[in-house]
């Protein structure tokens, strides 16, 4: 199956369909971003929802529904577990990850699409619309990055420019990626413990799933998350990190982080 997913035939692979969906969603998001008309609403949990979230969700759903694989999305989270439990394979999607960053206009927002099989992410795509950067990976096949991803006429040309991850970087500086919006005491304490071994460490504060991208690319050495995340926040980044040879561990106990659980809230984790 993975060999098929990494096939660069632009017409008929799950990878290419998902990349196309992410790019289409990114186009919609940027149009709203540049218009300044966000039409912000409050969801039931108090988090913000914008016109861009809705438009991106519609584009992704229309594209992925053609694959026949069911979709679990942040904007469609109400599907009962009794129904989801029968899904051996599913897409997990966050149409606009980092809505707070989107509203604050700092560019640190992403489109996240993952393919999950039997609770494990096997394929991930993260698109950064404001930077036109695309990260994607298939577990056991590799992770890659495309710059200027909006500038190609077809997926085949786009994938031909992809750069294999992780990239080389300055190994003398230890870098920690952390959330821009969710820094807390436990994260600070964990960073302080890292300083004992890496006294000159640098902190990279980033929004959305960009922290996964930095870990997968090697631009960050570690990404600790001691705060709440949902499955759609992490599935794509988890797949890309695994494809790049990284690990995503539970922070408080052993065992793998799994998906399509009855409770869609993730445990705390560390990527390295």
Interhelix angle 210-217/231-243, nearest 10 degrees:
10
55 known member of a binding site: no
233 known member of a binding site: yes
Domain spans of the chain, in order of start: 2-165, 175-271
15, pLDDT greater than 90 = yes
96 known member of a binding site: yes
pLDDT at residue 11, as a whole number = 36
User: Per-residue pLDDT tens for 143-152?
Assistant: 999 999 999 9
Q: Are 219 and 211 in contact (CB under 8 A)?
A: no
98, pLDDT greater than 90 = yes
10, pLDDT greater than 70 = no
136: three-class secondary structure by DSSP: strand
Mean pLDDT of the chain: 92
7, pLDDT greater than 60 = no
99 known member of a binding site: yes
Mean pLDDT value across residues 236-243: 98
CATH architecture of 2-165: 2-Layer Sandwich (3.30)
CATH number of 175-271: 3.40.190.80
Using pLDDT thresholds of 50, 70 and 90, give the confidence band for residue 157.
very high
pLDDT at residue 59, as a whole number = 97
202 known member of a binding site: no
pTM for the full predicted model: 0.94
**pLDDT more than 90, % of the chain:** 84
53 known member of a binding site: no
97 known member of a binding site: yes
Give the residue among 104, 84, 67 at the shortest CA–CA distance from 181. 104
């Amino acid at each position: 199956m993975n060999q098929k997913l990494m096939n660069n035939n632009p017409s008929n692979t799950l990878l290419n369909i998902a990349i196309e969906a992410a790019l289409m969603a990114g186009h919609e998001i940027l149009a709203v971003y540049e218009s300044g008309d966000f039409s912000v609403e409050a969801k039931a949990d108090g988090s913000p929802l914008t016109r861009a979230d809705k438009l991106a969700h519609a584009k992704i759903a229309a594209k992925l529904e053609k694959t026949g694989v069911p979709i679990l999305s942040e904007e469609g989270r109400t599907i009962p577990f009794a129904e989801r439990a029968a899904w051996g394979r599913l897409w997990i999607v966050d149409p606009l990850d980092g809505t707070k960053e989107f509203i604050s206009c700092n560019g640190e927002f992403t489109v996240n699409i993952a393919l999950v099989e039997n609770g494990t992410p096997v394929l991930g795509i993260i698109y950064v619309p404001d930077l036109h950067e695309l990260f994607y990976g298939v577990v056991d096949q590799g992770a890659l990055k495309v710059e200027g991803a909006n500038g190609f006429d077809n997926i085949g040309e786009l994938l031909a420019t992809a750069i294999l991850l992780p990239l080389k970087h300055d190994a003398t500086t230890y870098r920690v990626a952390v959330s821009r919006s969710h820094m807390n005491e436990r994260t600070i304490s964990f960073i302080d413990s890292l300083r004992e071994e890496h006294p000159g460490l640098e902190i990279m504060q980033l929004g959305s799933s960009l922290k996964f991208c930095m870990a997968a690319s090697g631009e960050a050495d570690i990404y600790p998350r001691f705060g709440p995340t949902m499955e759609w926040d992490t599935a794509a980044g988890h797949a890309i990190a695994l494809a790049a040879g990284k690990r995503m561990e539970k922070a408080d106990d052993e065992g793998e982080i799994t998906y399509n659980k009855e409770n869609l809230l993730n445990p705390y984790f560390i990527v390295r």
